[in-house]
Structure 1
Amino acid sequence: MSEFATRIKSTEEAADKIRLLMVDDHPVVRFGLAALLGLQPDLEVIDCCPDGDAALAVLQAIPVDIVLVDLRMPGLSGIETIRKIHQTSPQARPIILSSFEYDEEIYEAVNAGAFGYLHKDAPAEEILRAIRQVHTGHQAFPRRIAERLSNRQMTAGLSSREREILELVAKGLTNKEVANALRISQFTVRNHLNHIAAKLEVSDRTEAIFVAIQTGLIKVP
């Protein structure tokens, strides 16, 4: 085979591959998954980005088919990144990549335009199947999540009182100040904050505020 024919064949093979972009702020996840995906003959990892802004810059320069997006990242949130992907590169199809399975995050990500959900601990076969499935134009959600979506059972997770308390805490109020504002005891405020942390799968109030703002649960001026 001539050198020219070899180059043509190589170009055609590259064009047939599913082009992937990884977006995750954890290097171990980015490069570990990229190494796995890079071994597949029908996949090509275009780039691995630590945040949403870097991913959007790549998408403006290089065509991509599938974008694996972490939901909880510093700076631009995963949900906002997914929204901007549709504006920047409408042919690219985002898939959620997360260590969490919190209803509100998944629901908001689907509304933003996510085509699927992958847990970071998912088996390699499930990850590869989801990527190929979304590339063919289908959605790829685990049955447990698909059922909750189809039955409209995705809930915000936090009660109106819990949101109210978290918004006040996000504005800088202490537990005592929140208790006085809402005319409840500090003990009740502390219990609510513990429940909020458990529901959002976070360790403290600072992280709870960060997640709640990123997922649209609360809005703080």
Structure 2
Amino acid sequence: MTLASNSASPIRVLIVDDHPMVRDGIAGLLARQDDMEAVGEACDGAEAIEKFRELEPDVTLMDVQMESMGGIEAIQAIRGFSGDARILVLTTYAGDANAIRAIRAGASGYLLKNCIRGELLGAIRSVHAGRRAVCSDTAHALAEHAYDPPLTEREIAILALVAEGHPNKQIAWRLTLSVDTIKAQLKTIFEKLGVHDRTHAVTVATRRGYIER
């Protein structure tokens, strides 16, 4: 008797990552699965869009930070012309803010690369079936900060400059704002992040994925 799963078409996966070794590793993992196959690879967001149009994969694995065009922009573009595209983010960047950006862009799931062996295959199957897939660490961060007020784009820009070591006067000059406005914005940022100084603000914002260091 032939099992139904043997006759079903395998899940066709597009792998998007700027590291060839990562792509090769994932392709090798998929090759060992009876119900999956890697149908193509891309090294950045622009190539991902091109390959998606060409191959029409069932599931796309998408890195976030890549040269030329990043994953978030690529997800938005793909979902713009293919509303039912199923995209699973696979990244090293943890944090609830990163995950929220990806999900709002249209991702069906968010997985960290250190979870690959344990969770990737199940996540691909879940996303293909129309469900969401979020790794446990990210799910915990999302739950922990579910009711926290998010940082605005201006607040993130200010924090990024703080992280680079710029004093308030330089930040004000760069953003064409007054020093008093920067001070007021920093006070609001501290309140939102639950911190009391610039160093702690940068640490928390980095951990949550608002800024990179």
> TM-score by structure 1 length?
0.69
> Any idea what SS the aligned residue of 2:57 has?
coil
Q: Distance in 1 between the 2:25 and 2:126 partners?
A: 22
The AA in structure 2 aligned to 1:128 is L
2:25 matched residue in structure 1: 32
Q: Distance in 1 between the 2:204 and 2:21 partners?
A: 26
> Any idea what SS the aligned residue of 1:138 has?
coil
The AA in structure 1 aligned to 2:179 is L
1:92 matched residue in structure 2: 85
Select which of 174, 177, 182 maps to 2:179. 182
Q: Distance in 2 between the 1:117 and 1:111 partners?
A: 12
Q: Distance in 1 between the 2:160 and 2:114 partners?
A: 32
Q: Distance in 2 between the 1:114 and 1:103 partners?
A: 14
Deviates more, 1:146-155 or 1:85-94: 146-155
Q: How does 1:19-98 map to 2 (within 5 A)?
A: 19-98=12-91
Q: Is 1:59–1:89's contact at 8 Å kept on the other side of the alignment?
A: no
Deviates more, 1:118-127 or 1:157-166: 157-166
RMSD: 3.9
Moved over 4 A (4+): 147-152, 154-162, 166-169
Q: How does 1:92-111 map to 2 (within 5 A)?
A: 92-111=85-104
Q: How many residues align?
A: 190
What is the CA deviation profile of residues 51-73 of structure 1, one whole-angstrom value per residue up to 9, with x for unaligned ones?
01111111111221001111111
Is 1:140 aligned with 2:133?
yes
Deviation at 1:196, TM superposition (A): 2.7
- Unpaired runs of 5+ residues, structure 2, are 1-5, 187-196
1:10 matched residue in structure 2: none
